[in-house]
Amino acid sequence: MFAARIALTALAVPLVLALAAPASAGAGPGSLPPEDVAFIDRVVAAQMAEQGLPGVTVSIRAPGKGTFLRSYGTSDISTGRPLRPRDHYRIASVTKTFVATAILRLADRGRLSLDDRLSKYVAGVPSGDTITIRQLLGMRAGVFDWLDDPQFIAAYNADPLLPGWQPEDVIGVLQRNADKAQPPGQTPAVYSDSNYILLGLIIERVTRRSAERYIERKVVRPLGLRETTFPTVTTLPPPFSHGYDDTLGTVRDVTVQSVSVPWTAGAMVSTVPDMTRYARLLARGALLSPETQAERLAFSPLNTGGPPSPFFVGYGLGMTKIGAWIGHDGSIFGYSDFVFHLPSARATIVVMVNRAGSTDVPATATWFAIAQHLYPDSFPPP
């Protein structure tokens, strides 16, 4: 739920003639050429119509081509308030990149080893004596995804606040699904949100601080991200976009929701401009030693759960690679985003939508259409 379980084939986007009215636009010196802007407008209009999206924000930094920042549609269906570029939203699994950076910084400082066994820090996890921190980071630990547990997901879908839930409760779900775990170390990587809950618990054991505060103080602040937080409350800082979910068949406002459930797998909050700045910092290995960043960028093929991809899709240490792009995507109740950087062109494309549920990552088609239009050679065959 917090991540990219997306079919990366058949991503052609049908275009429509009617344009979604932009609520806010980036224009002026350095902006994208009009023909590119018109293309983006058409793509967004098509996706909003096809998926019933209340709002979409697109941000582009493309050296040699221009910049773009525009929001479309509404942030609040009940009032009709326009979506704005600086609205806060839940970044979902992009949270994992921050968690991985925190773990890798601890490794750089000798406070843990990536080859440490999970059981050294967290007890009770099936195969915890053989699973390593490196495998957790790289989605190669074989850990069952607690979001696939029918008992849990039924309760979470019914009430996104899920009162009383604590991150440690994931361990009980893993224990009752021990027969569904896979042997650690296998390739391709298999996405499991449980890995990053366990990494959050490791951060707390090693630092003796809450994962939220440690990540804010040691990762977010040093990166200069002023609009990014790791909340401990169910509400969003103003201004914010409402989020909408259709998991139960009807659209509901799920802006207020648990942060204890997604926690270090997906609970952080930011804005599209902050994520645009962050994507480049993440790709460059900010806060990490060059050696550790090189390990981070050793991507294993990622099992996407669908047909073979026409281009490489892989997972490193808390980062995804799609074609030549690196970054992460995410989806959570009410929000979906793609946050990716293309190192060869020093380009960044970020897309956020304020609806998620029956479609895992609604931002997918919009992001791909724009990336393929601006950088058609960035998706070479694997």
Q: What pLDDT is recorded for position 6?
A: 44
Q: Is the pLDDT of residue 18 over 80?
A: no
In a domain, 1, yes or no: no
Q: Is the pLDDT of residue 293 over 60?
A: yes
Residue 217's CB is within 10 A of a number of other CB atoms, namely 14
The CA–CA distances, whole Å, from 70 to 50, 87, 258, 275, 373 equal: 20, 12, 29, 14, 17
- Give percent of the chain above pLDDT 70: 91
Q: What pLDDT is recorded for position 1?
A: 60
Mean pLDDT, range 206-211, rounded to an integer: 98
In a domain, 4, yes or no: no
- Most confident region among 24-28, 118-122, 185-189 by mean pLDDT: 118-122
pTM for this entry: 0.94
Q: What pLDDT is recorded for position 360?
A: 65
Q: At 22, is the pLDDT very low, low, confident or very high (cuts 50, 70, 90)? A: low
Q: Is the pLDDT of residue 13 over 70?
A: no
Range of the domain at 183: 22-378
Q: What pLDDT is recorded for position 58?
A: 98
User: Exposure of 297 by Cβ count < 10 A (0-12 exposed, 13-18 middle, 19+ buried)?
Assistant: middle
Q: What total number of domains does the chain contain?
A: 1
Q: What pLDDT is recorded for position 330?
A: 95
Q: What pLDDT is recorded for position 26?
A: 46
Q: What pLDDT is recorded for position 2?
A: 67
When mean pLDDT is compared across 87-96, 175-184, 276-285, 299-308, the lowest value belongs to 299-308
Q: What pLDDT is recorded for position 28?
A: 46
Q: Rounded distance, CA 159 to CA 168, Å?
A: 19
- Asked if 4 and 93 count as a contact pair (C-beta separation under 8 A), the reply is yes
In a domain, 52, yes or no: yes
Number of H helices, E strands in the chain: 11, 15
CA dihedral 241, 46, 79, 357 (to 10 degrees): -50
Q: At 357, is the pLDDT very low, low, confident or very high (cuts 50, 70, 90)? A: confident
pLDDT, tens digit, 9 for 90 and up, residues 87-137: 999 999 999 999 999 999 999 999 999 999 999 999 999 999 999 999 999
In a domain, 3, yes or no: no
Q: At 359, is the pLDDT very low, low, confident or very high (cuts 50, 70, 90)? A: low
User: Domain containing 67 — which CATH number?
Assistant: 3.40.710.10
In a domain, 226, yes or no: yes
pLDDT, tens digit, 9 for 90 and up, residues 139-159: 999 999 999 999 999 999 999
In a domain, 91, yes or no: yes
Q: Is the pLDDT of residue 29 over 50?
A: no
Q: At 306, is the pLDDT very low, low, confident or very high (cuts 50, 70, 90)? A: confident
- Asked if 268 and 290 count as a contact pair (C-beta separation under 8 A), the reply is no
Q: What pLDDT is recorded for position 24?
A: 52
Pairing of strands 300-303, 269-270: unpaired
Q: What pLDDT is recorded for position 15?
A: 32
Q: How far, in whole angstroms, is CA 54 from its chain's centroid?
A: 20
Q: At 367, is the pLDDT very low, low, confident or very high (cuts 50, 70, 90)? A: very high
In a domain, 267, yes or no: yes
Over the range 168-203, which residues count as b (16 or more CB within 10 Å of their CB) and which as e?
A: eebbebbeebeeebeebeeeebbbbbbbbbbbbbbb
pLDDT, tens digit, 9 for 90 and up, residues 33-59: 999 999 999 999 999 999 999 999 999
In a domain, 13, yes or no: no
